[in-house]
Amino acid sequence: MPDESERLRLIDGFARARRIRIDDLIAALDPDPNDVIYASGSITDGLGGPESDLDIFWLTSERRFAGLADRFDPERETQQRLQGFGILYVRIGAIEFDVEVRPLATVTALTASMTALDPASAESLHRNFRYIGRWDRADALDILHRLRIGAPLHNPAGFAAVAGSFSHRHFCHWYAQLNLEFAREAQKGIRRSLDDGDPENAFLKLCHLQDLLIDAALFLAGDSLDRWKWRLAKARRTLAPDWYADYLAVRLCRAGDIPLTAFVAHWAEAGAARQAALEQALDALAAASFARRA
């Protein structure tokens, strides 16, 4: 992933290409001095293209958040209400920015909940399988991933404090463990479908297994993702070439003359070997982390 200086350079390139000033956006939002505003998304993750936009996040006080409520757009209104955020649309020049506003305290509560988890503990994983604190694990992933790949636009010290309030290594190990747990279930499903004489269903489960293993490998490598659409680009820049080629062989069903049952059985066995290697790597990282704490 790009470091913060590179992310800021990418943001500057975005603004220059569109002939706008980020300072004009900040002026239009008029944040309080202690508010945190940062940009995130495919551009700051180094995956953006000419048509990519820049996602803006604004963390503010409960008082200011309540005062902005009348300005929030009704898009995803139910989601906004349930998850405690608001959406503003702000036009600067020819660009309309989507600004997601949250109370700062709710985000720091999430980072505290993330810190409290033990990614080396299967018991902790199962106890918190669906939620991290009060957050659904998918929503938590979205917020924490966007923090990891974000760059400050207002109050850089405040942004550094929030982004640094949880261990990024801890976060990556947790989501690697979660994907490996799902991978174990996918392996069972593949075997059941093959035993039932249903290779088509087994193949679909095999594709799911491959995605889970890729995601686990990305998290173990210190990367992260919150959208399936970035999986291939991240796999392309992170995985060893042979693994990337194998992934495409499965997902594009390059079976040739091999019967589908044999194709699925072969790649399920290969997937099990890669899964075992990932689990060993995760165990080693967990042991090293425990040694550091001791």
DSSP codes joined into one string, 95-141: EEEEEEEEEHHHHHHHHHHHHH--TT-HHHHHHTSSEETTEEHHHHH
User: Does residue 294 surpass a pLDDT of 80?
Assistant: no
* Mean pLDDT to the nearest integer, 70-96: 89
Give residue 291's pLDDT band: very low, low, confident or very high (50, 70, 90): very low
CA distances from 30 to 90, 96, 219, 279 (A): 12, 17, 36, 48
Q: Using CA atoms in the order 151, 153, 159, 163, what is the torsion angle rounded to 10 degrees?
A: -20
Amino acid 289: pLDDT: 57
Over 60: is that where the pLDDT of 123 sits?
yes
Task: Give the chain's domains with CATH numbers.
Answer: 4-141+151-165 (3.30.460), 170-293 (1.20.120.330)
